[in-house]
Structure 1
Amino acid sequence: MGFETKRFQGDVDEELICPICSGVLEDPLQAPACEHAFCRACITEWISRQPTCPVDRQAVTASQLRPVPRILRNLLSRLSTRCDNSVHGCNAILKLDSLPSHLAECEYNPKRPMPCEKGCGLVIPKDELADHNCVRELRALIATQQGKLTEYQQELAEQRLVINEHKRELALLKEFMRAMRVSNPTMRALAEQMERDEVARWAASLARARVTRWGGMISTPDDMLQVMMIKRSLSESGCPPHIIDELMENCHERRWPPGLSSLETRQNNRRLYEKYVCKRVPGKQAVLVLHCDNAHVDEHMMLEPGLVMIFAHGIE
């Protein structure tokens, strides 16, 4: 709907009047052929009922409507109008294009957001301040949030049930595959391939890591560091259960390949470290060097299913 003509100073040119609502054009659009202009809301509603121009009845669809020319927009913007809040005491006279910004700040706007000064800190419309009750509003807000929390908890419980069911089905499938591997070489190969694919998918989900100080490597981590920090983080990241214990064994230099088995060999082979594709152990100063990511690395520098290297510092 357009602006009421009586709110404008002086006469308004007929070209600036919407033929549908008889108000001054608001957010105008025009028909492509006849170029008749209308308020956006007016013409959109009209066309939804009958796809014709209201003036000359030429066929027109909503997708054919176009913005009015710049000269028409300029004429509209230069019209002088009273503020919408004149009935509430605002005496401002301003150009039409300045009206939106003025309304946002107008002190007479009854719907202007105002902070409550009684202590609750809620922002509410100005015309509701007189009847505002902090305790009532805060209770309502808490009730709403508790309702949302209950919904989230229910959704979470349902998702956990689904996840647990999937885990149970996966465990049964794995037990079946293990049983078949014992008696059927084909199934053994298939199961091994599935396990390799599972490791590859997990590896792809991990972030790349860069080691800036290889000298910070801890070659003989204690059991507490391994179990309480690294193993838990690997499990939470989705590490396939069938390799997690083996990876934890590979934290220690006693299980490292020949190229890393002693301080001397590690120093001699430091230039080869840059070949490693390292993945970050989430939240820890440690990296995974997985076999599936490092097929290009020499055999004397790699193990199946991979290495866990723990550092005192130097992981990005």
Structure 2
Amino acid sequence: MGYDVTRFQGDVDKDIICPIFSGVLEEPVQAPHCEHAFCNACITQWFSQQQTCLEDQSVVNVAHLRPVPWIMRNMLSKLQIACDNAVFGCSAVVRLDNLMSHLSDCEHNPKWPVTCEQGCGLEMPKDELPNHNCIKHLRSVVQQQQTRMAELEKTAAEHKHQLAEQKRDIQLLKAYMRAVRSVNPNLQNLEETIEYNEILEWVNSLQPARVTHWGRMISNPDAVLQAVIKRSLVEIGCPASIVNELIEKAHERSWPQGLATLETRQMNHRYYENYMAKRIPCKQAVIVMACEKQHMGEDMVQEPGLVMIFVHGVEEI
């Protein structure tokens, strides 16, 4: 909407005064035929009332407007203007074409970011600092955190309820299929299909893992370590039908022929990179499920899968 003439040093040529705002031209444009110049914002607002040039009443609209000649832009750029923040203590006078650069660094800008030094460390606009209250701010932060925690707890409770309902639905479906099987033996494989899909869904929910030290496998974990891993499997939702079987296969005595002894493991070491391992959270242990190993030979996999425990070297991908 133009610059106030009183902000400029010296006399200002009348040819660079906007006839609408009566201030120095800001983002100037001109009518194509009469070449009268206006602030872009001023003439655009004027056109909302009538589609004519304010100076000579010739017909013109926004689409007709053109940039002013370079000589006028050059005149404007050389004008010396007082900073916008003069009322806040800034005494700087700069060229008009340098005004925006100065304003971005002007420390007298009331919106200049400052940090509260009274204790809370909050960053805020400079003009808000006098009315800032650390205690009030910190209480607001605590209330926001409490609200967020309540929302998270509510969401977690809803998810837990949904999971419980899904498990109940699965159990009911299994019971239904058992009843159907007793009537129609041809459907006896449907229950196994449902169980397989449940296992596959659980496997897909686990985090993929990379093993960096295959030679650090604990091939015969003791009962205590097995109990720890079993509890972790239960906590991450492992289907109850395979928990015990997986734990039994954590020992090399239950591993397939290609993993059965230290010698065979060393000989088949090159095949380990083809394993798609899933990590047991927070444990140096992985699950290697047969449903993901169809590309492996039977001597390297075991139904429904294996638990491998390591001293170290398990990373999530």
- TM bucket (normalised to shorter chain) is 0.7 to 0.9
**Aligned equivalent of 1:25:** 26
Q: Distance in 2 between matches of 1:142 and 1:129?
A: 20
The answer to whether the Cα contact below 8 Å between 2:30 and 2:38 also exists between their aligned partners in 1 is yes
Correspondence list, 1:242-281, <5 A: 242-281=241-280
Q: Which protein shows a greater Rg?
A: 2
Report how far residue 70 of structure 1 moved: 12
Report how far residue 190 of structure 1 moved: 3.0
SS of equivalent residue, structure 1 residue 114: strand
Unaligned runs of at least 5 residues, structure 2: 54-58
Report how far residue 250 of structure 1 moved: 1.3
SS of equivalent residue, structure 2 residue 296: coil
Q: Distance in 2 between matches of 1:30 and 1:100?
A: 23
Report how far residue 54 of structure 1 moved: 7.4
In the alignment, residue 161 of structure 1 is paired with which amino acid? H
- What RMSD, in angstroms, separates the aligned Cα atoms of the two structures? 4.3
Q: Distance in 2 between matches of 1:29 and 1:168?
A: 72
**Aligned equivalent of 1:309:** 308
SS of equivalent residue, structure 2 residue 130: coil
Unaligned runs of at least 5 residues, structure 1: none
Report how far residue 18 of structure 1 moved: 9.8
In the alignment, residue 254 of structure 2 is paired with which amino acid? R
Report how far residue 307 of structure 1 moved: 1.2
Matched, 1:292 2:280: no
Query: 1:20-61 CA distances to partner (integer Å, 9 max, x unpaired)?
Result: 8977436x8999xxx998657995x899x79x977655586x
**Aligned equivalent of 2:169:** 169
In the alignment, residue 85 of structure 2 is paired with which amino acid? N
Structure 1 residues 88, 176: CA separation in 2 closer, same or farther (over 3 Å shift)? same
Structure 1 residues 111, 265: CA separation in 2 closer, same or farther (over 3 Å shift)? closer
Q: Distance in 1 between matches of 2:308 and 2:238?
A: 16
**Aligned equivalent of 1:132:** 132
Q: Distance in 2 between matches of 1:249 and 1:133?
A: 62
The answer to whether the Cα contact below 8 Å between 1:4 and 1:24 also exists between their aligned partners in 2 is no
Q: Distance in 1 between matches of 2:22 and 2:187?
A: 77
Correspondence list, 1:186-201, <5 A: 186-201=186-201
Q: Distance in 2 between matches of 1:120 and 1:12?
A: 52
Q: Distance in 2 between matches of 1:259 and 1:165?
A: 41
Query: 1:254-274 CA distances to partner (integer Å, 9 max, x unpaired)?
Result: 221122223343344334434
Report how far residue 90 of structure 1 moved: 0.8
Structure 1 residues 22, 206: CA separation in 2 closer, same or farther (over 3 Å shift)? farther
Structure 1 residues 110, 179: CA separation in 2 closer, same or farther (over 3 Å shift)? same
Matched, 1:118 2:152: no
The answer to whether the Cα contact below 8 Å between 1:20 and 1:54 also exists between their aligned partners in 2 is no
Of 17-26 and 288-297, the range deviating more from structure 2: 17-26
Q: Distance in 1 between matches of 2:305 and 2:275?
A: 11
Structure 1 residues 154, 213: CA separation in 2 closer, same or farther (over 3 Å shift)? closer
The answer to whether the Cα contact below 8 Å between 2:25 and 2:38 also exists between their aligned partners in 1 is no
Structure 1 residues 140, 200: CA separation in 2 closer, same or farther (over 3 Å shift)? closer
Report how far residue 124 of structure 1 moved: 3.2
Q: Distance in 2 between matches of 1:312 and 1:177?
A: 43
In the alignment, residue 25 of structure 1 is paired with which amino acid? E
Query: 1:123-142 CA distances to partner (integer Å, 9 max, x unpaired)?
Result: 33333333433333333443
**Aligned equivalent of 2:218:** 218
SS of equivalent residue, structure 1 residue 210: strand
In the alignment, residue 308 of structure 2 is paired with which amino acid? M
Q: Distance in 1 between matches of 2:73 and 2:213?
A: 65
SS of equivalent residue, structure 1 residue 195: helix
Report how far residue 242 of structure 1 moved: 3.1
Query: 1:247-303 CA distances to partner (integer Å, 9 max, x unpaired)?
Result: 222111222112222334334433443443333333322222221221121112211
TM value normalised by structure 1: 0.73
SS of equivalent residue, structure 1 residue 215: helix
Structure 1 residues 297, 7: CA separation in 2 closer, same or farther (over 3 Å shift)? same
Report how far residue 311 of structure 1 moved: 1.2
In the alignment, residue 118 of structure 2 is paired with which amino acid? K
Structure 1 residues 189, 139: CA separation in 2 closer, same or farther (over 3 Å shift)? same
Report how far residue 89 of structure 1 moved: 1.7
Structure 1 residues 100, 179: CA separation in 2 closer, same or farther (over 3 Å shift)? farther
TM value normalised by structure 2: 0.73
Total equivalences in the alignment: 305
